[in-house]
A and B are shown apart, each in its own frame.
Chain A
Amino acid sequence: MKKKNEENRHAESFEESLETLFGREAELTDEELDEELGACGIDSAELQANVHKQLFDYANHHYRTLDRDVPENLEKTLRALRPPSATEKAKAVVRTAENLVGSFLDTTKTMSAELLSTPLPTQTRYPEFAFRNKKELSAADKDLLQSEQEDVDSSDES
């Protein structure tokens, strides 16, 4: 009893130390938990598969092979930690791809709508603006300017 009390006291003190230094684990988001596990060299999916295997082996050895019922909590834990099957994995990949494509299309639509709704600067509506930095005009440019000039002249005459 004395030993147990001492262990409990140590556990409380140790928990207090860990909490003061690093905060409570339960307050971390799933992403933060994954990140911290990653820093310790642990992949979340592998962790789940590894622990599931340990629990599965334990359930087989201590219950199923002896024809005994697996306790409800162990059964629930096993179900929750069961790694996804190949079909489930494939479906997840397809879902992720669909989401990616969907979000890409949404972004494209939003950006196109934004671009089309933005009025062009007034100057860009006039042809001379397009030639403002040209030092030497090509024959095609000259022809184009000529035809523009003729348009302007003819409208003046009428």
Chain B
Amino acid sequence: MNETEYRRLLKILTVRACRALSVAASKGETWVLAESGKSPADYAAETLIRWGTNQLQFSGTPEALVAYLTKVMTNAIISTLRKREVKTSRNGKTMLADELTEDSSSQSKPETLFDLRSLMRDDAFREALRQCTADDDALQEYVLAIEMFEDTIPAARDIASLLGVPETEIYKRRRKLARRLGKHGFTASRRRSKV
């Protein structure tokens, strides 16, 4: 990978961390952003350190490396989400890379976070989506379309076909929803952390 690709990798990892954490925060895991002690940048840094110090075994193309590291980081986030004692941490500061260690103590099970169907049925998450899409009919329509696929995980073309719009329109709405939920999640978290 060249230097530009490394810089892009960092952005991709951080955006993934932002998305994962904002979904968790929107779902009502209020401690996630303000009190877990790790920012999205910390998760990205931790993953890059593990990769950089050969703690992760990977041999493949740079494109595959991005997907692999993204998955590794998502695993790390899930691991954090499952740790009950994180809720008792009231640090809220960025951690040093040295302090980024695994902890295998007792865990909570925020199962509804992982499955799309359960997530879309979660009242707090639905409320967050409602607030993010309140002024945008196209986004409301997009969220409704996802909810309509009861038993399957819809691909972009399935949603596009249901709504009768081009597939590119679905990609556009996805990006917009991600930005809005990110803004909503992090703003709400900052608001809560001040209280």
Contact = CB atoms under 8 A, between A and B. Distances in A.
A119 interface: no
B179 A26 contact: no
Contacts of B79: 7
Contacts, number: 175
Interface string A115-134: 00000000000000000000
B20 A22 contact: no
Interface in A3-40: 7-8, 10-11, 13-18, 20-23, 25-28, 30, 32-37, 39-40
A147 interface: no
B36 interface: no
A73 to B, nearest CB: 4
A21 B6 contact: no
B78 interface: yes
Interface string A37-50: 10111101001101
Nearest to A79: B3
Nearest to B117: A17
Contact of A23 (B6, B48, B174): B174
A11 to B, nearest CB: 5
B54 A73 contact: yes
A81 interface: yes
Interface stretch (A55-63, A90-98, A149-157): A55-63
B41 A50 contact: yes
Interface residues of A, number: 50
A79 to B, nearest CB: 7
Interface in A62-90: 62, 71, 73-81
Contact of B175 (A36, A50, A51): A36
A8 B79 CA distance: 10
A22 B174 contact: yes
Contact of A18 (B23, B51, B156): B23
A29 to B, nearest CB: 10
B183 A40 contact: yes
Per DSSP, chain B at the interface is helix
A33 B23 contact: no
Closest 4 CB pairs of A and B: A74-B52, A80-B6, A22-B178, A80-B3
Contacts of B163: none
Interface string B170-195: 01001101111111011100100000
Contact of B97 (A21, A57, A80): A57
Contacts of B52: 55, 71, 73-78
A35 B178 CA distance: 10
Given A21-B178, A23-B178, A40 B18 contact: yes
Nearest to B129: A21
Contacts of A44: 11
Given A51-B41, A73-B51, A77-B48, A37 B11 contact: yes
Interface in B151-176: 153-154, 156, 171, 174-175
A15 B182 CA distance: 16
A54 interface: yes
21 contacts: A7-B75, A20-B146, A21-B177, A22-B19, A23-B171, A23-B174, A34-B11, A36-B175, A40-B18, A40-B182, A40-B186, A42-B18, A48-B10, A54-B41, A54-B96, A55-B45, A55-B48, A58-B49, A62-B53, A71-B53, A75-B52
